[in-house]
């Protein structure tokens, strides 16, 4: 029997259930779970803030595991085309089942908008199988994109970035950060911290991070932020003054919003210089409305605003390579401030929802 944490419905206590070992199809993979992240998305799921979720679910959409069993026939292959072998440590793209034929897949190159897409730990029901990471084992269906972890990259180090790293990589790519740019990051959760790191790797001359959590601002400083601003100790006007003082009166060249708070969006627009770029990545769920002045905040500023929702297999693959290459420069595992077994998943979820930890992982 296999143990897994189940979220039966929003606002209900998590449950530890047992499942039969699945019978694998040709091309399928059974992973023995090494670890799975506890993401802000899991807190949103618990609060019922995402539509179309087929509760009950097994949470955990970004995970690492060791290949325990392969389906019959020709073995599944990783994203480079190499056949998978039992014992290999891998991660996988949580998005599964994109059709490859619709307009978004073929013309728009935006597979995150494919109407057929399913997501492990989010839109696959526990009634249908082991399709989430908070479990002893994970059933990877045929066609799931599998990415092996390079030798030397500890799986905990990868999970320290988790889904935050490929999402941040997508965001900073859209931001087109240039050498010497001042980059402002709103929010020092996993996405924001990864964005701050990637901004440095793209040549940013200065990185400013805004948050309201002391533990997260401390992490931002340790990971290279030049200036941190605490929203609990400053007003919006004081933050604007501080950013302008640090940028010769102009504002940030590129701002990345990674808060999930709608009110952060108009503030971020005002913290960005004229003709700058503003990337909104934190509004994954519908948390409410925000008001801005389209003349003063957008048109007159010649501000370029770009929305960023999730990531694809290319972002995941590149994230793994970046984290492996810079593992000595950035001690990723230092970001993990909470490690929980399956029986403590409820506490992990509550700690993440309350921002008591920088990064939490489930280790079966």
pLDDT for 316-351, tens place per residue? 999 999 999 999 999 999 999 899 999 999 999 999
Where helices occur in 63-163 by DSSP H, the ranges are 103-106, 155-161
Averaged pLDDT, 110-136: 94
Kindly tell me if the per-residue pLDDT of 31 is higher than 90. yes
User: How many CB atoms within 10 Å of residue 215?
Assistant: 13
The pLDDT of residue 287 is 85
Rounded mean pLDDT of the chain? 95
Averaged pLDDT, 30-35: 98
Q: Is 350 exposed, middle or buried (0-12, 13-18, 19+ CB in 10 A)?
A: middle
3-class DSSP string for 259-325: CCCCCHHHHHHHHEEEEEEEEECCCCCCCCCCCCCHHHHHHCCCCEEEECCCCCHHHHHHHHHHHHH
pLDDT for 197-206, tens place per residue? 999 999 999 9
The pLDDT of residue 326 is 95
Residue pair 150/290 in contact by the 8 Å Cβ criterion? no
CA neighbor of 344 nearest in space, from 333, 356, 332, 360: 360
Averaged pLDDT, 227-247: 98
What DSSP assignment string belongs to 58-91?
Answer: ---SSEEEEEEEE-SSSPPB-TTSPBP-TT-EEE
Averaged pLDDT, 250-275: 97
pLDDT for 40-99, tens place per residue? 899 999 999 888 899 999 999 999 999 999 999 988 999 999 999 999 999 999 999 999
């Amino acid at each position: 029997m296999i143990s897994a944490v189940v979220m039966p419905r929003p606002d209900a206590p998590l449950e530890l259930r047992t499942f039969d070992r699945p019978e694998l199809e040709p091309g399928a993979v059974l992973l023995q779970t090494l670890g799975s992240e506890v993401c802000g998305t899991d807190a949103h799921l618990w609060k019922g803030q995402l539509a179309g979720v087929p509760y009950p679910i097994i949470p955990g959409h970004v995970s690492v595991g060791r290949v325990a069993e392969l389906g019959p026939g020709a073995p599944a292959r990783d994203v480079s085309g190499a056949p998978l072998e039992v014992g290999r440590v891998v991660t996988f793209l949580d998005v599964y089942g994109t059709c490859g034929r619709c307009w978004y897949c073929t013309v728009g190159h935006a597979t995150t908008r494919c109407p057929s897409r399913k997501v492990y730990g989010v839109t696959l029901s526990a009634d249908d199988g082991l399709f989430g990471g908070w479990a002893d084992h994970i059933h990877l269906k045929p066609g799931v994109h599998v990415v092996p972890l390079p030798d030397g990259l500890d799986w905990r180090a990868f999970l320290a970035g988790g889904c935050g790293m490929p999402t941040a990589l997508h965001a900073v790519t859209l931001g087109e950060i240039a050498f010497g740019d001042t980059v402002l990051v709103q929010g020092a959760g996993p996405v924001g911290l990864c964005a701050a790191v990637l901004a440095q790797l793209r040549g940013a001359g200065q990185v400013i991070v805004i948050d309201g959590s002391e533990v997260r601002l401390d992490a931002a400083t340790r990971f290279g932020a030049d200036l941190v601003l605490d929203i609990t100790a400053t007003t919006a006007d004081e933050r604007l003054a501080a950013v302008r003082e640090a940028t010769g009166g102009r504002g940030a060249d590129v701002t990345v919003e990674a808060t999930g708070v709608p009110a952060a969006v108009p503030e971020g627009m005002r913290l960005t210089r004229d003709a700058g770029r503003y990337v909104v990545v934190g509004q994954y769920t519908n948390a409410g409305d925000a008001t801005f002045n389209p003349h003063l905040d957008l048109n007159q500023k010649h501000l370029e605003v770009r929305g960023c929702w999730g990531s694809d297999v290319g972002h995941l693959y590149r994230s793994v390579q970046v984290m492996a290459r810079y593992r000595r420069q950035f001690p990723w595992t230092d970001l993990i401030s909470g490690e929980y077994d399956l029986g403590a998943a409820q506490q992990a979820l509550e700690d993440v929802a309350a921002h008591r930890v920088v990064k939490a992982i489930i280790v079966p």
